[in-house]
Amino acid sequence: MRGVVNYATLEVEQPARLYSVELQNIFVETLFLTSGKDSIYQRALDEITTIVDLIDEELGPLPE
């Protein structure tokens, strides 16, 4: 997007490039990567929760 949109003014500097197939593909790839990353992070969190639960079950309640 650098050079296509002026970040300071939010004005489009190169409208033809803004709506180009290249930029559309970059957006689509970014969406897929973000979705995949979120899925992997959620899986990791689920696995961590499972491991913590198993550890808690093995150790039993902590003495106070």
HEC profile of the chain: CECCEECCCCEECCHHHHCCHHHHHHHHHHHHHHHHHHHHHHHHHHHHHHHHHHHHHHHCCCCC
21 is in which domain, residue-wise? 5-59
**What tokens were used for 57?**
């079950």
pLDDT band at 21 (very low <50, low <70, confident <90, very high): very high
Other C-beta atoms lying within 10 Å of the C-beta of residue 23:
14
Domain membership of residue 64 (yes or no) is: no
| Arithmetic mean of pLDDT over the chain | 92
Domain membership of residue 42 (yes or no) is: yes
pLDDT of residue 6: 92
pLDDT of residue 35: 92
Domain count, the chain: 1
pLDDT band at 52 (very low <50, low <70, confident <90, very high): very high
Residue 61: pLDDT over 80: no
**CA–CA–CA angle 32, 37, 38 (5° rounding):** 100
Average pLDDT of the segment spanning 21-49 = 95
